[in-house]
């Protein structure tokens, strides 16, 4: 198992990260599409399901799937952390901390569905910050505040400084490693 993680953060980091980022981008695009449907097209929020949600409405309304995605995000960010060094590691850690809280919120929503009762006497499953902010905006916000530090981390990961590049064990850097060339 440890050698599997070593490979994921070494020779497989580039390919594995690319796959992960495609999933992240697709999910992010869905949230943007949903916001567009509500704010620009003025659809009622319960009908605005992004792109996939138009074809599969149950996707949007399934709390399990939302929780599953939040878990995959958390596991993915955590799994790929060791491959990040220097400034990229700092920003990847920021994304990890924020995603951890986002995942707690989803766990709360999920447990309310399982328990068949809601927090705070609300009519629908409710997360903590949702007491103050509407759900669509809140999850768009969460996905943004996780997405932005991930993008900054990816930038520094793809364009490391010479000392950072010397520490990297993966092939992600787009610049030739000065230390090895």
Among 50, 83, 149, 160, binds Zn ion (CB under 5 A): 83
Binding window for Zn ion (CB under 5 A); candidates: 49-57, 124-132, 138-146, 162-170: 162-170
Residue among 20 and 142 whose Cβ is closer to Zn ion:
20
Q: Report in angstroms how near the CB of residue 101 gets to Zn ion at its nearest.
A: 25
Q: Report in angstroms how near the CB of residue 9 gets to Zn ion at its nearest.
A: 7
Angle made by CA atoms 66, 70, 117, in degrees to the nearest 5? 50
Q: Report in angstroms how near the CB of residue 15 gets to Zn ion at its nearest.
A: 10
Tell which residue, 84, 104, 101, has the closest CA to residue 93.
84
Residue among 13 and 106 whose Cβ is closer to Zn ion:
13
Residue among 88 and 99 whose Cβ is closer to Zn ion:
88
Residue among 13 and 27 whose Cβ is closer to Zn ion:
13
CB 127 within 8 A of CB 108: yes
- The DSSP element (H or E) to which 66 belongs, if any, is helix 63-80
Length, in residues, of the chain: 181
Integer Cα distance of 81 and 75 in angstroms: 10
Q: Report in angstroms how near the CB of residue 170 gets to Zn ion at its nearest.
A: 3
Among 12, 13, 31, 92, binds Zn ion (CB under 5 A): 13
Does 150 interact with Zn ion (rule: CB under 5 A)? no
Integer Cα distance of 28 and 137 in angstroms: 13
Does 172 interact with Zn ion (rule: CB under 5 A)? yes
**DSSP per-residue codes, 2-27:** HHHHHHHTTTTHHHHHHHHHHHHHHH
Residues that bind Zn ion (CB under 5 A): 13, 83, 170, 172
């Amino acid at each position: 198992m440890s050698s599997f993680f070593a490979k994921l953060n070494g020779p497989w980091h580039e390919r594995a990260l690319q796959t992960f980022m495609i999933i992240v981008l697709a999910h992010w695009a869905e949230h943007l599409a949903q916001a567009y449907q509500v704010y620009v097209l003025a659809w009622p929020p319960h009908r605005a399901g992004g792109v996939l949600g138009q074809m599969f409405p149950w996707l949007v309304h399934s709390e399990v799937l939302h929780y599953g995605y939040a878990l995959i995000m958390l596991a993915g960010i955590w799994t790929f952390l060791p491959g990040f060094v220097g400034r990229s590691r700092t920003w990847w850690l920021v994304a990890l901390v924020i995603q951890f809280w986002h995942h707690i919120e989803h766990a709360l929503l999920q447990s309310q569905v399982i328990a068949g009762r809601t927090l705070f006497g609300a009519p629908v499953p409710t997360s903590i910050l949702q007491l103050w902010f509407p759900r669509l905006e809140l999850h768009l916000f969460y996905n943004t505040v996780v997405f932005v530090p991930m993008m900054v981390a990816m930038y520094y990961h793809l364009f490391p400084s010479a000392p950072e590049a010397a520490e990297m064990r993966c092939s992600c850097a787009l610049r030739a490693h000065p230390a090895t060339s």
